[in-house]
Amino acid sequence: MSQTKAFDVDRLTAIDVHVHIEHEGESTDADEAARKYFGEGAPRGRQGMAEYYRSRNIGCVVFTVDERLSNRPQVSNDTVLDFAAQNSDIMMAFASIDPTRGHGAVEEARRLIKTGLVRGFKFHPPIQQFFPNDPGAYHLYKVIEEARLPALFHTGHSGMGSGMPGGGGIRLKYGNPIYLDDVAADFPEMPIIMAHPSFPWQDEAISIALHKPQVYIDLSGWSPKYFSPTLIQYANSLLKHKVLFGSDYPLITPDRWMADFAKIPIKDEVRPLILKENAMRLFGFTSKKATGGN
């Protein structure tokens, strides 16, 4: 696996930090329940997704979710890395490893980091069934922190499992962001992205992002028209450098998200921070235009 082009940040209008690479076979019950919950369809297939983002000049962070609860077919991390490398002008790959896999999770993280293609790690505590501050996950976090890579954690309500009997076995308690406060305190050199407006624990997420310098919030998984007034207030002020654009593609597309984002009262000077500039800083990108490069 090798990258063919550099991530072309100057050409991009936005960076979507929350994009799922999904299996391309028949839909499972969990897939159909999620589509019914979100009420949207996106171009099917990975190539369709790449064409969608490239045609809109939007960069994206892509990942799978390493989980066993939903019985959905798994997309391997190697598949995600290879796909991102083939589209490296617009894509960055995050790996996903279930921390409950023990020592094997740590070894897999080390292997993937050595490829040089991993830009971060994705965790989904409600589906992977663990509290983020479980000491059993700390060996994995240590490897991620040593590599100075960010970790993205699902927080709040889960669209996956919504409407299914028993919520598909998904327990929402694992999505309470307050447990990430311990992780942020114990791993201060590991950037943390709290994925989604953290309903019903939005105030906890805002407090953590205010208190811990390396903690960010991504705005994926919800149409902006549903953002709470408190979230909008802090995104416009104290957290204007800590909030990131994310869609949750293919369940929510950037077209839908951006159309609704244009209608909420975000300050004009804050919009480019959320859509692109905060992610540039998080991932260490600089504009050639700003530095006079060719």
Residue 91 main-chain phi, psi, to 5 deg: -125, 145
Please say if the pLDDT value at position 1 is more than 50. no
Burial class (CB in 10 A: 0-12, 13-18, 19+), 260: middle
Element (H, E) at 19: strand 14-20
Contacts of 149 by beta carbon, 8 Å cutoff, 6+ apart: 113, 118, 119, 120, 121, 190, 191
Q: What's the CA gap between 275 and 145, in Å, rounded? A: 26
Give per-residue pLDDT as tens, 171-206.
999 999 999 999 999 999 999 999 999 999 999 999
255, 53 in Cβ contact below 8 A? Answer: no
Give per-residue pLDDT as tens, 258-270.
999 999 999 999 9
Contacts of 273 by beta carbon, 8 Å cutoff, 6+ apart: 240, 241, 243
Is pTM, for the whole model, over 0.75?
yes
Domain locations along the chain = 14-286
Give per-residue pLDDT as tens, 80-96.
999 999 999 999 999 99
pLDDT recorded at residue 3: 43
| Residue 142: pLDDT band with limits 50, 70, 90 | very high
Average pLDDT over every residue of 52-79:
93
pLDDT recorded at residue 32: 59
Element (H, E) at 232: helix 229-235
Q: What's the CA gap between 147 and 269, in Å, rounded? A: 33
The CATH class given to the 14-286 domain equals alpha beta
152, 122 in Cβ contact below 8 A? Answer: yes
Contacts of 110 by beta carbon, 8 Å cutoff, 6+ apart: 143
The mean pLDDT value of the chain amounts to: 91
